[in-house]
Amino acid sequence: MGALANLATVEVKACGLPGKKPTKDGESLVAFIEEAEYFRGIALLFGGTEARLNGHIRRAFGPAAHMRERILLYWHQGQGQAAIEIENWWARL
């Protein structure tokens, strides 16, 4: 197996919980991509409002913006709803 032999790593987190610092989310994905040579990092955020989602993206993924081509973000807003891809998530920073 060679470089980028690992396909993806996934983080699943609640969106914007008060009192929680989500900065580790982006850091973990970047570490897997850069150090363990994963091809993609995927984050699935669930719950919350759009305002909380935007705040979570800014805090957790702002430092990971340089990896924007390799990190995919999805938001599952609530029960019975499909998760949606947050395209161009770096534009919310």
**How does pLDDT run across 17-55, given as a tens digit for each residue?**
777 777 788 999 999 999 999 999 999 999 999 999 999
Q: Which domain holds residue 50?
A: 1-8+26-78+86-93
3 confidence band (pLDDT: 50, 70, 90)? low
Check residue 2 and give its pLDDT.
60
**Residue 50 and residue 17 in contact, taking contact as beta carbons nearer than 8 Å:** no
Check residue 91 and give its pLDDT.
95
74 domain-assigned: yes
37 domain-assigned: yes
69 pLDDT more than 90:
yes
44 domain-assigned: yes
The beta-strand segments (E) located in 47-91 are: 71-76, 84-85
18 domain-assigned: no
Backbone angles phi, psi at 80, to 5 degrees: 80, 0
Domains in the chain: how many in total? 1
**Residue 47 and residue 77 in contact, taking contact as beta carbons nearer than 8 Å:** yes
For range 75-91, the mean pLDDT: 96
The three-class DSSP label of residue 13 is strand
67 domain-assigned: yes
Q: Which of 5, 51, 62 is nearest to 29 (CA)?
A: 62
Check residue 4 and give its pLDDT.
63
20 domain-assigned: no
